[in-house]
C-alpha cells in the first residue's frame, strides 16, 4: 500500500523552510538556499547536478532514502516555478531544466490549467486544478504501489500535515538563522498529535529528524 512521505524538507534553526521574496534568481526566497547548501557536499547531491565527488556519510544516506520506493511526487506551484496567475505561455518547464531529477510522474497543484509536460528522463508534469486530494489520488494511482512523495513547497506540506495526510516526515534542521520567510510549523493544526519522532541523527552539518504516524 502506498504511503505519503515528505523527505529532505529542510528548516532553519528558527523554523523557516523558505526565505521571503521568491524569484527566478532566488528559488527558495532570499537566503533560503543557505539551508540546502549541505546537500551539495554529498555524492548524491553532486550526482543530481551531473557532477562527481562529494561525501558518502550520514547526510548522503538520508538524501538517498528520499527517493527509495517513490513512484510519484506532488508539489505546489511555487515549487515548480516563480510564475503567478495565468500561465503566460508554456515556456517555463520548472527549475530543473529539460531533464528534471524526478524520473516519474509529478503532480503540480495550480489554479490554472496547463497541458501535461513530458520531459527527458521519465519525468512528466501533470497540472492539477482541483486540489491536494485529487493530486494525491492521481499520484497514488500513477505510483502503482510505490510511495508518493510531497516535495513542497511550504504551504503544501503544511496543509498535508494539518490534515494528517503524511505518513512519514524527514526534516533536516540546519544551523542557520533566516529571520523571515515561511515557517514549516505554523498553521499545522494538532500536528504532531498522532505522530512520533522515531529517529534523530546528526552530522557535522545537519540534525536529521524522522517523524512517523504513531
Q: pLDDT tens across 114-164, in order?
A: 999 999 999 999 999 999 999 999 999 999 999 999 999 999 999 999 999
Q: Which residue has the cell 562527481?
A: 52
Q: pLDDT tens across 49-64, in order?
A: 889 999 999 999 999 9
Query: Does 156 fall in a domain?
Result: yes
How confident is the model over 3-26, as a mean pLDDT? 94
Taking the C-alpha atoms of residue 171 and residue 207, their distance in angstroms, rounded to an integer, is: 8
Query: Does 22 fall in a domain?
Result: yes
Taking the C-alpha atoms of residue 134 and residue 137, their distance in angstroms, rounded to an integer, is: 5
In this predicted structure, which of 41-55, 147-161, 170-184 has the lowest mean pLDDT?
A: 41-55
How confident is the model over 175-193, as a mean pLDDT? 95
- Number of structural domains found in the chain: 1
Position 24 pLDDT exceeds 90: no
Query: Does 76 fall in a domain?
Result: yes
Query: Does 94 fall in a domain?
Result: no
Q: CA distances (Å), 118 to each of 97, 132, 171, 172, in order?
A: 12, 21, 30, 31
Taking the C-alpha atoms of residue 214 and residue 195, their distance in angstroms, rounded to an integer, is: 5
CATH classification at residue 116: 3.40.430.10
Backbone angles phi, psi at 155, to 5 degrees: -60, -40
Domain that holds residue 53: 4-84+99-213
Averaged pLDDT of the chain: 95
Query: Does 185 fall in a domain?
Result: yes
Taking the C-alpha atoms of residue 129 and residue 103, their distance in angstroms, rounded to an integer, is: 22
pLDDT at 188: 96
How confident is the model over 184-191, as a mean pLDDT? 94
Position 165 pLDDT exceeds 90: yes
- By percentage, how much of the chain surpasses pLDDT 70? 100
Taking the C-alpha atoms of residue 57 and residue 38, their distance in angstroms, rounded to an integer, is: 12
Amino acid at each position: 500500500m502506498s504511503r505519503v512521505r515528505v523527505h529532505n524538507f529542510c528548516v532553519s534553526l528558527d523554523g523557516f523552510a523558505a526565505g521571503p521574496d521568491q524569484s527566478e534568481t532566488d528559488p527558495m526566497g532570499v537566503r533560503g538556499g543557505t539551508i540546502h547548501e549541505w546537500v551539495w557536499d554529498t555524492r548524491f547531491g553532486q550526482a543530481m547536478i551531473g557532477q562527481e565527488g562529494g561525501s558518502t556519510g550520514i547526510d548522503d544516506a538520508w538524501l538517498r532514502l528520499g527517493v527509495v520506493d517513490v513512484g510519484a511526487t506532488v508539489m505546489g506551484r511555487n515549487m515548480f516555478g516563480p510564475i503567478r496567475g495565468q500561465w503566460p505561455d508554456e515556456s517555463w518547464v520548472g527549475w530543473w531544466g529539460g531533464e528534471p531529477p524526478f524520473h516519474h510522474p509529478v503532480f503540480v497543484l495550480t489554479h490554472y490549467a496547463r497541458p501535461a509536460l513530458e520531459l527527458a528522463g521519465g519525468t512528466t508534469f501533470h497540472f492539477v486544478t482541483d486540489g491536494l486530494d485529487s493530486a494525491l489520488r492521481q499520484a497514488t494511482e500513477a505510483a502503482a504501489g510505490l510511495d508518493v512523495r510531497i516535495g513542497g513547497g511550504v504551504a503544501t506540506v503544511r496543509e498535508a500535515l494539518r490534515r494528517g495526510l503524511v505518513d512519514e516526515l524527514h526534516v533536516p534542521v540546519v544551523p542557520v538563522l533566516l529571520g523571515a520567510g515561511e515557517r514549516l510549523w505554523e498553521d499545522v493544526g494538532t500536528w504532531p498529535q498522532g505522530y512520533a519522532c522515531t529517529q534523530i541523527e546528526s552530522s557535522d552539518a545537519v540534525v536529521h529528524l524522522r517523524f512517523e504516524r504513531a
